[in-house]
Amino acid sequence: MERAVALWARFAVERQPRIRKPSVYAAAVEYSLTLLESGYGPSQDELAERYGVSASSISRVHGEIVEMVASGERAPPSLAELVDRLAAEELESEQERAERALARVQEEMREEQEAPFEATAATREALRALPRTNELWLGGRRAIHTVISRDGPFQPDAVVWLEAGSRAITTGQLVHPDDDDLAVIEALAAAMLEPAFGQPRRPATVELDDPRLARRFKPVFDSLQMACQLGSGDLIDEAVAALESQLQDAYPEPGLLGKGIEPDVLAEFHRVAARLARSDAWRALTEQLILEVDPGIPGVSPQCVCMLGAPGPDRGLLFFASADDYFQHARLAELRELGARACRPGVELLALGYDPVHTLGKARQRELMEHGWELADTDSAPGLIKMGPDDFSLPLSADDYRIASRCADAIGNLLDAHPEAFEAPGARRRFTLDDRWIVIPHPAMPLWSRGC
């Protein structure tokens, strides 16, 4: 218990989390501590059922704890060590805040366990008075890819209920991923009282695809005299996909033109990126061999470039402003591999990739047809994104496209002229290509090694 308190106290002091669901943090601390101390213990799914939260929420907070422990390069201190350190640094206020946070978590957990369905109790009488039909309503909760900027940014979950016979959605709501699964029942109550179609009513049967939710909310369904059954959730997947499509139509992906980006800049980017995709670049290079590429643009420093993926649809290039940025990105990627899903790249970078044309927004597809920009193959278009330190995309400029184009073109030219240049190097070599140059491997990378 002392170790759990110490781990939570350190996390609360260093990260100061915004607590929406206390039991998520309690479950994540238990999960993280068992892995740190013994390497095994209850699974995230088991803890999710015990604490009444989602496994994905536990995984997210566990990732933050892993990141904190890894960045500290030491095991969590004991409670006595933590108190001594805080006192020595005259941080009594942080210790007090951690203790208050811990007390709040414990109190709110007790309240949840004593009254887990309190949120729906006020509406039960009104729901019981609704006319009962023979309908079957399907419900579920799914993560979606739309980004919400309010209180975030974050990617919400969609909660959907639909009538099985007509497949018509009775309600669809977006909730924060940390919100309790009571949101599923609250959405059902809203759908019965104010459905998107038809009169207020109470279905005879509801269907969920999550056994944990079915068990948790069985008392609610019993009190409303509704049967509950388990299903595949396929129709919910379709409904959520339709809801996400509507969101994308309401907030469509913009085209590439505009904001100072001219057609000739994009035409050159598509030509160079398509040519590189058809080359042997992803066979000659590995993700571990990084290059220093001077794009030959006045005022732009040499880029640190590495390959992404392998031959196929996931191939791409990453462009970093410096080797330090690359190594920081690589370190955080390693933390994500350890389970720190909440880690951010921490640096700004450009990423060149290739997307199926049918997945692009309507504006992008229209631009490709109107301007005849070159494709990598029959159904793959080059694309460029700029990622900020918080892992959200940033607006692209004409200079971003020029940097990517000039670097990719230099790599393609070098592959044509000196294919042997990308073999495991025994000496650092510099190749001059017109007004550009490439150093293999990058000066920050050791010789005789393809790893960093």
User: What span, in angstroms and rounded, lies between the C-alpha atoms of 161 and 169?
Assistant: 6
Contact 233, 211 (CB under 8 A): no
What residues contact residue 50 under an 8 Å CB cut-off, 6+ apart?
27, 42
pLDDT of residue 92: 42
Reported as a pLDDT band with limits 50, 70 and 90, residue 287 is low
Q: Which residue has the higher pLDDT, 304 or 387?
A: 304
Reported as a pLDDT band with limits 50, 70 and 90, residue 114 is very low
Other residues' Cβ atoms within 10 Å of the Cβ of residue 48: 23
Q: What angle do CA 79, 106, 21 make, to 5 degrees?
A: 110
Mean pLDDT of 121-142: 86
The single residue listed with the structure tokens 């309401």 is 250
Bond from prior residue into 153 cis (ω within 30 degrees of 0): yes
Helix (H, G, I), strand (E, B) or coil at 229: strand
**Is 79 a residue whose pLDDT tops 50?**
no
User: What span, in angstroms and rounded, lies between the C-alpha atoms of 268 and 266?
Assistant: 5
Instruction: Return the domain boundaries, the chain.
Output: 2-114, 121-250, 263-440
Rounded to whole angstroms, what are the CA distances from 220 to 115, 184, 192, 225? 12, 12, 14, 9
Q: Which residue has the higher pLDDT, 156 or 78?
A: 156
Give the CATH fold of the 121-250 domain: Nucleotidyltransferase; domain 5 (3.30.420)
The tens digit of pLDDT for each residue in 260-280 reads 889 999 999 999 999 988 887
pLDDT of residue 425: 56
**Is 63 a residue whose pLDDT tops 50?**
yes
**Is 104 a residue whose pLDDT tops 90?**
no
pLDDT of residue 46: 83
**Is 202 a residue whose pLDDT tops 80?**
yes
Over the Cα atoms of the chain, what is R_g?
27
The single residue listed with the structure tokens 């159904």 is 379
User: What span, in angstroms and rounded, lies between the C-alpha atoms of 115 and 126?
Assistant: 20
Other residues' Cβ atoms within 10 Å of the Cβ of residue 216: 19
The pair of three-digit structure tokens given for residue 299, joined into one six-digit string = 């005022």
**Is 324 a residue whose pLDDT tops 60?**
yes
Q: What is the pTM of this model?
A: 0.51
Most confident range (mean pLDDT) of 63-72, 138-147, 368-377 is 368-377
